[in-house]
Structure 1
Amino acid sequence: MIESIIDKDIELLIFLNNLGTTQWDGFWLIVTNKFSAIPLYILLLYLAFKNYGLKKTVVIVLFIALLIAASDQTSNLFKYGFKRLRPCHDESIADLIRLVKSRCGGMYSYFSAHASNSMAIAVFFSLLLKDKVKFLSYFLIIWALFVAYSRIYIGVHFPLDVFTGALIGVIYAIVCYKLFKFFTRKILT
Structure 2
Amino acid sequence: MLEQLEKLDQELFLYLNEQQSPFWDNVMVTVSDKYFWIPFYLLLIGYIIWRYKLQSIPMLLMAVAGIGLADYVASGVFKPYFARLRPCHDPEISAIVNLVRGCGGQFGFLSSHASTGFALAVFFNLTLSDRYLIFKILLVTWAVMVSYSRIYLGVHYPGDTLGGALVGTGTAMLAVVGYRFWLRKYTRFQHKPLA
Give the TM-score normalised by the residue count of structure 1: 0.94
Do 2:88 and 2:103's aligned partners in 1 also have CA atoms closer than 8 Å? Answer: yes
Name the CA distance, whole Å, in 2 between partners of 1:87 and 1:34: 21
Q: Give the AA of the match of 2:96.
A: L
Q: Give the AA of the match of 2:160.
A: D
Indicate the SS of the match to 1:85. Answer: coil
- Kindly state the Cα deviation for residue 131 of structure 1 after the two structures are TM-superposed: 2.6
The percentage of counterpart residues that share the same residue type is: 37
More moved, 84-93 vs 131-140: 131-140
Q: CA RMSD in A?
A: 1.3
Q: Give the AA of the match of 1:150.
A: S
Indicate the SS of the match to 2:130. Answer: coil
Partner residue, 2:9: 9
Indicate the SS of the match to 1:62. Answer: helix
Q: Give the AA of the match of 1:86.
A: R
Name the CA distance, whole Å, in 1 between partners of 2:129 and 2:160: 28
Q: Within 5 Å, give how 1:94-173 maps onto structure 2.
A: 94-101=94-101, 103-173=102-172
Partner residue, 2:186: 187
Indicate the SS of the match to 2:132. Answer: coil
Indicate the SS of the match to 1:48. Answer: helix
Do 2:70 and 2:171's aligned partners in 1 also have CA atoms closer than 8 Å? Answer: yes
Q: Give the AA of the match of 2:44.
A: L
Partner residue, 1:23: 23
Name the CA distance, whole Å, in 2 between partners of 1:166 and 1:130: 22
Name the CA distance, whole Å, in 1 between partners of 2:22 and 2:95: 17
- Kindly state the Cα deviation for residue 47 of structure 1 after the two structures are TM-superposed: 2.5
Residue ranges of structure 2 left out of the alignment (5+ in a row): 189-195
Indicate the SS of the match to 1:19. Answer: coil
Partner residue, 2:41: 41
Residue ranges of structure 1 left out of the alignment (5+ in a row): none
Instruction: Answer 1 or 2: higher relative contact order, Cα 8 Å, separation at least 6.
Output: 2
